[in-house]
Amino acid sequence: MSLHARKMNHSRDVATQASAQQEAVGYMIDEQGREIPITEQMIQRACATLHENWIPPIPSGRAGVHR
């Protein structure tokens, strides 16, 4: 591989990493110890799932009771 081709590959890799870092809002560690970027889309999906599956608590009838 020529020097020019290696530089182009390196530039592309750096740009890809920079893009991924800009999109990530945090990281989690998987079972193998790898950092997995947490993206805005992942957070939005998790919030939507929680919203869809949320069940309001049943009032216990003790609201306003102070000890």
Interval 8-23 mean pLDDT: 61
Which is more confidently placed, 39 or 10? 39
State the average pLDDT for the chain: 79
Rounded to an integer, the average pLDDT of 28-33 is 96
Q: How confident is the model at residue 7 (pLDDT cuts 50, 70, 90)?
A: low
Domain boundaries, the chain: 22-53
Q: What is the pLDDT of residue 34?
A: 96
Q: Which residues contact 28 (CB under 8 A, 6 or more apart)?
A: 35, 36, 38
